[in-house]
Amino acid sequence: MTENCNECSIAWIRGGEYAEVSAHNGSKMKGRVLKLAEQHPEDVKILVTNKDGSIFAHVPVKYVKLRAPRELTEEQRTELIERGKNMSRNKSTDYEETSDFDSGDDNEEMFTF
C-alpha cells in the first residue's frame, strides 16, 4: 500500500476457500482481522504487515458478510442504551462471579459492514 492510503478491500474468487483482505493501519477492518487471527489462528492468516502498519490477510470466505446498518426508533435506541448501562453496572459488580463463555458458534465473529 502507498503511504497515507486509507483503502480497505476484500476480494475472493467464486468457489474459493478464502478471501484476501487488505486493510490500512488504524482501520476498523484491520482490528477485526487481527482479533479474528488471535481467536482463529488456523483459519485467519496475516500474510504481510507493511511498514505503514497496513496488513494483507487471508480469511475464510464464510467470514465475509455484508449487511445494512440497523435502523432503530428513538424508543429502541433508548432501550438499548439503558440495557447497555445495566450490563456495564452488573459486569463491574459481578465480575468475580462470571466465567468464560464459549457459545460454540463458529459464525459468531464475522465481518459486518
pLDDT digits (tens, 9 = 90+) for 55-84: 999 999 999 988 888 899 999 999 999 999
Provide the whole-model pTM: 0.59
pLDDT at 1: 42
- 45-49 and 18-23 strand pairing: unpaired
Average pLDDT, the chain: 84
Residue of 106, 5, 97 whose CA lies nearest to 51: 5
